[in-house]
Structure 1
Amino acid sequence: MASNEQLKLAHVLFIDIVGYSRLLNDEQRECLQTLNQIIRASVEFRRADESCKLKRLPTGDGVALVLFTSPDAPAECAVEISSALKQHPELRVRMGIHTGPVNDIIDLNEQSNVAGGGINMAQRVMDCADAGHILMSKRVAEDLGQYRQWQPYLHDLGEVEVKHGVTVQLVNFYGEDFGNPAPPDKCSRAAIVAASATAALLIGAGMWLLTRAPKPAASPSQLDKSIAVLPFENLSRDPDNAYFAEGIQDEILTRLAKIADLKVISRTSTSRYKSSPDNLPEIAKQLGVANILEGSVQKTGDSVRVNVQLINAGTDAHLWAETYDRKVSEIFEFQSDIAQRVASALEAKLTGREGQQIASSAATENPRAYEAYLRGLALDVRGANTSGDRDAFREAVELDPEFAAAWAALANREAFEYFQVKGTPEQLGRARDAMEMALRLAPDASESHAAATSFYYYCLQDFDRALEYAAEARRRAPNDAHVILLTALVKRRQGKFDEAIELLHEAAKLDPRNNDIWLSIGRSERGARRFDGALTYFDRALAIAPGEPAIVGEKAFALLAAGDLERVEQLLKSVPRTDGSIASHSYVSLLIYRRAFDRAAEITSQVLRNANPERLELFLPRIALARIEILRGNREAGLQTMREIRGTLEERKRGGDRSVWIRSELILLAAMRGAREAVEREGAELLRMTENDKWSFPESQETLARGYALLGDADRAIPLLGRLLQETYHLSLSTADLRLNPEWDSIRNDPRFQQLAQETAP
């Protein structure tokens, strides 16, 4: 029953997947997931969604987008989607556009929704299309035809009969980069001929021509507004000033990233290229952009010269160029000017807030503080070392306590250090102080909200609060891939795994050469035991960073989970096995699976001899060595090592360190020495710590199950294992692990365990 019978005008884009019903269930899910990612990434979709002027109507094999914005919004959205689909030839999609009446209703779920003839007609228009087509009704084409920018892309198909004897005048909407120029099968040759004879239409005081042009024109979409800012060349005599050139590039990119009408590639991806390269078209293709901004920086004393030029990579046309000779103290002024000039050259539409953001005044008046900040940014993007960039940011805020951007950068590093390394009250306080200072000094800055996202995610695991700040950060910097990545990671912790993967793919479009994003997707696929998918994404990460031991190790663990030990052996031949990396850890796991305990002990001992004794990561190989000693019969040696490790871990725990890994290791150490009470006490604490984290909580349960198994308690371990095999989580348990890992030997002969180990391999 309609809640409001008053009709209103809507602009509808109807989308579906051609041949959907012939796909397998897994293929249907994957196709819909990819299509949803592409739709969600479009600027028009986000703009309408954020302004609450969008209704989404899922149709099973697609979706209808009902927009209450402008008549050209569905066309803009269709161009974006069609262009993005060029990267997914396996996904065959058709679209139909119509403007017509709809009315508000209350649907069967008692939710506010819309229905009406405008939606029905858009579907009929789409039904006439083949794969790749964007068809629109004559009414929409007449609206668009009043604007010069759309005229070259409107190609009349004439009148076509659809359902129930209804006829529709159709227009094929295509250009060089979008749509399908071939006539749809449902449009007869006679209709096309008749249409071409009467193609000239008079609208108002102007004329526009609907014709099938012999060569499609270039796309009018935002794709022409896509840009990558390549590393600026350091022309200074002092090579230590390289960070200064990198920092200027980063600041310009940061300002451009705040403009929703642009697609701006993250610096993590662009930093992999050299300054002023010869192969701009190839780089633009790899990054998925049309335009490149490149330049050089020469710093002498307190003076700086910056040359910058904006180039269309496809035509090699110089869209804009400028040379700035300024004092270092004037750096913020010309960075703002560059961002504004680039936006103008690309005809980007700026909101009032965006204009204010990119024209913002100096972040600090202290040149030394700014140089320390730039040094921190340079170290951060290189992944040089965590303490180096953190120390540079600390120096920046000591030199200028009012430097909000430096506080935000520092907050990110302090929060991550609390999560990854040192979960002490002191470290939590440092992260909180930096985050609160950033918000106090710059409450409207995207960087401040991103810092708060990191704090609530990494430190407090308050995922709802983290998402609130992430949404604010993204509204202020829609091209910030790091914010999208953080949002995805938070969603994954909430158990929204498919949504998290969609967001990771969205982040990858803005940061395609960031192997961490592809690693995150691979980990998500591995957590769902979709091992083929996980391997695909780990390979994408390796294509960016060939031979990187950390990535090789991640791939090896996926193969171990799948039970493919031979491929693990072949994979690990290409990387060091005794450097303490994830790759060496995976090699030790392979040896344990094969019960080659002597060799596993030899490799682990070599890792310990090679490593810096101060490294925190040494806890893991020392614990591994203790386990191996017990497995190969040297129980007393293993227990002695455990006693040493246990004392250190318990001391850290008494000092307030809330690191989850400490509790996990204390559980296993207690189990190996037969201390049931300690296993249950530490296990209860670990489950309380992670109960709100859907990505880690099952892993905590698995640790407890391993503890019970080491105690020989099959009645407590096996029910947990049965549930865990159905869960998606980090490093999820597989049946291959049950079959091969000697940690399960004490309960292996239990018929219930044997049944679990043989269920749907791996």
Structure 2
Amino acid sequence: LARARLSMGLSFASSGPDGDPMLKAKALSEAQEAARLRPGMGEAKLALGLYYLAANDSDRALAELAEAEKLLPNSAEVWQTRATIYMRQNKIRERIAALRRAEILDPRGITVLRMLAMTLRYVRDWPEAERTADRVRAVLQGAQRHWKYARAWDEVRKTGKLDPLKQELARAPTGGEADPPELHKSFQFELAVLERDFVTAERLLHELPAKVLEDDAYPKAMYEALLAVGRGGDRAVIERTLMAAREEIEKLRAASPNDYYAYINLGLIDAFLRRKEQAIREGQHAVELATAASQLEGNDASAALALIYARTGESDRAIELIEHLLTVPANLTQEGIYNMTVVELKYRWEWDPLRNDPRFQKIIAGPEPKTVY
């Protein structure tokens, strides 16, 4: 059992194309040795499944998990691992079913509940996403208060109104690691931007330390640039702020040349700089990189490309993409300016070039289309 668990840990540590090959080899040898020592041990099969998942061999991973399931019929880990594989295979319906099964087997399994909540957001099932978020909060019992903000966002997207987020932000943060004031302030900043209160947004962004935004959609310089564009004013000042952000994004791109987010951000900046051809080229390259990773990430990058089209005068191409993207799964785990939901199309100033187009008006006035998956 110890060898199987060691193998699982090594597989987690070495997953992905850039994982340490020595760790991967050690993970495989430990799993094989566990299976040799105890041929009927389900954990050994689970360890082999996780190894092949880390090695990006989904078919072999699923075959090992089928054997693990026979030996461990009450294991939520087996179904959680299946769900991870199904995400890679773009099988979201199967992923949700696997996570539901894992939830039944381990109702307080926080990792499963988080995965399920995120997946339900991908398919815009706001009522079920809310229910699962409530489960997460009940299990955590205040240990991680940021889930209350995620829950408020689910309500915003379900109702099409900002009131749920306003009501949550009206409550003072409890402080400490579970609910730090900086996190509360970051959502106040987000609300101010949505309400186009750029003066308040600028003050809040100035008060927020850069580290709070490190795991968000953009570096702080990008937020500063977006605020400059949204606020308007002296074009020379706006362009200087955009160029400062571009320099920061270029550093990120140089460090990770296959990171599609860097190309998304470069494309958006160049669109705001009115460099049409360059912006579209960068956005299209982001889509190519993202789609190679997964369809969900491809949809994410395509949403950014739609915004680039909107900002560069390509209204027909933007609306055509929007109409399609509202019917397919979307990556909504970050508060990105191109998140593809009706409420965000309605409130985000970045889509203003489409605001007077009757086709766009129809999109934001109507109910959100059903996500097909």
1:651 aligns with 2:248: no
State the AA in 2 paired with 1:717.
Answer: A
Tell me how far apart the structure 2 counterparts of residues 650 and 484 of structure 1 sit (CA, whole Å). 40
Residues 1:554 and 1:637: Cα distance change in structure 2 (over 3 Å):
farther
Residues 1:437 and 1:645: Cα distance change in structure 2 (over 3 Å):
farther
Work out which of the residue numbers 167, 177, 194 in structure 2 matches 1:570: 167
State the AA in 1 paired with 2:163.
Answer: E
Q: Which has the higher contact order (CA 8 A, sep 6+)?
A: 2
Any idea what SS the aligned residue of 1:728 has? coil
1:631 aligns with 2:230: yes
State the AA in 2 paired with 1:739.
Answer: K
Work out which of the residue numbers 336, 359, 363 in structure 2 matches 1:752: 359
Residues 1:669 and 1:455: Cα distance change in structure 2 (over 3 Å):
farther
Contact 1:507–1:517 under 8 Å retained in 2:
yes
| Alignment partner, residue 523 of structure 1 | 118
| Alignment partner, residue 712 of structure 1 | 313
Considering only aligned residues, what root-mean-square deviation do their CA atoms show, in Å? 3.2
Tell me how far apart the structure 2 counterparts of residues 537 and 704 of structure 1 sit (CA, whole Å). 31
1:702 is displaced (CA, Å) by 0.6
State the AA in 2 paired with 1:733.
Answer: M
Tell me how far apart the structure 2 counterparts of residues 513 and 481 of structure 1 sit (CA, whole Å). 11
Any idea what SS the aligned residue of 1:691 has? helix
Contact 1:470–1:487 under 8 Å retained in 2:
yes
Contact 2:53–2:61 under 8 Å retained in 1:
yes
Work out which of the residue numbers 347, 351, 357 in structure 2 matches 1:740: 347
Residues 1:534 and 1:475: Cα distance change in structure 2 (over 3 Å):
same
| Alignment partner, residue 109 of structure 2 | 514
Residues 1:487 and 1:638: Cα distance change in structure 2 (over 3 Å):
farther
1:707 is displaced (CA, Å) by 1.5
Residues 1:495 and 1:617: Cα distance change in structure 2 (over 3 Å):
closer
Contact 1:578–1:606 under 8 Å retained in 2:
no
1:449 is displaced (CA, Å) by 2.1
Any idea what SS the aligned residue of 2:295 has? coil
Tell me how far apart the structure 2 counterparts of residues 413 and 589 of structure 1 sit (CA, whole Å). 34
Work out which of the residue numbers 122, 145, 155 in structure 2 matches 1:559: 155
| Alignment partner, residue 608 of structure 1 | 209
Point out the structure with the larger strand share.
1
1:552 is displaced (CA, Å) by 2.1
| Alignment partner, residue 455 of structure 1 | 54
Tell me how far apart the structure 1 counterparts of residues 310 and 65 of structure 2 sit (CA, whole Å). 41
1:523 is displaced (CA, Å) by 2.4
1:642 is displaced (CA, Å) by 3.7
Contact 1:541–1:551 under 8 Å retained in 2:
yes
Tell me how far apart the structure 2 counterparts of residues 411 and 627 of structure 1 sit (CA, whole Å). 40
Contact 1:412–1:454 under 8 Å retained in 2:
no
Residues 1:726 and 1:447: Cα distance change in structure 2 (over 3 Å):
closer
Residues 1:453 and 1:565: Cα distance change in structure 2 (over 3 Å):
farther
Contact 1:702–1:721 under 8 Å retained in 2:
yes
Tell me how far apart the structure 1 counterparts of residues 69 and 23 of structure 2 sit (CA, whole Å). 20
1:488 is displaced (CA, Å) by 1.4
Tell me how far apart the structure 2 counterparts of residues 466 and 675 of structure 1 sit (CA, whole Å). 46
Tell me how far apart the structure 1 counterparts of residues 303 and 230 of structure 2 sit (CA, whole Å). 20
Tell me how far apart the structure 2 counterparts of residues 685 and 453 of structure 1 sit (CA, whole Å). 30
1:509 is displaced (CA, Å) by 2.7
Work out which of the residue numbers 146, 166, 186 in structure 2 matches 1:550: 146
Contact 1:608–1:618 under 8 Å retained in 2:
no
1:688 aligns with 2:284: no
1:482 aligns with 2:77: yes
Number of aligned residues: 344
| Alignment partner, residue 28 of structure 2 | 439
Any idea what SS the aligned residue of 2:101 has? helix
Tell me how far apart the structure 1 counterparts of residues 342 and 248 of structure 2 sit (CA, whole Å). 34
| Alignment partner, residue 169 of structure 1 | none
Contact 2:80–2:99 under 8 Å retained in 1:
yes
Please list, as runs of the form range in 1=range in 2, the aligned pairs for 1:224-303 lying within 5 A after superposition: 255=1
Contact 1:709–1:744 under 8 Å retained in 2:
yes
Tell me how far apart the structure 2 counterparts of residues 410 and 586 of structure 1 sit (CA, whole Å). 36
Deviations 1:72-94 (A, max 9, x none): xxxxxxxxxxxxxxxxxxxxxxx
Contact 2:46–2:78 under 8 Å retained in 1:
no
Residues 1:447 and 1:647: Cα distance change in structure 2 (over 3 Å):
farther
TM-score, normalization: structure 1? 0.41
Tell me how far apart the structure 1 counterparts of residues 260 and 75 of structure 2 sit (CA, whole Å). 30
Residues 1:599 and 1:683: Cα distance change in structure 2 (over 3 Å):
same
1:667 aligns with 2:267: yes
Identity %: 26
State the AA in 1 paired with 2:162.
Answer: L
1:412 is displaced (CA, Å) by 0.5
1:407 is displaced (CA, Å) by 5.2
Contact 1:452–1:469 under 8 Å retained in 2:
no
Contact 1:690–1:697 under 8 Å retained in 2:
yes
| Alignment partner, residue 81 of structure 1 | none
Tell me how far apart the structure 1 counterparts of residues 182 and 268 of structure 2 sit (CA, whole Å). 21
Contact 1:736–1:757 under 8 Å retained in 2:
yes
Deviations 1:437-463 (A, max 9, x none): 211343233454244255246xxxx65
Any idea what SS the aligned residue of 2:296 has? coil
| Alignment partner, residue 40 of structure 2 | none
Residues 1:546 and 1:405: Cα distance change in structure 2 (over 3 Å):
closer
Residues 1:579 and 1:712: Cα distance change in structure 2 (over 3 Å):
farther
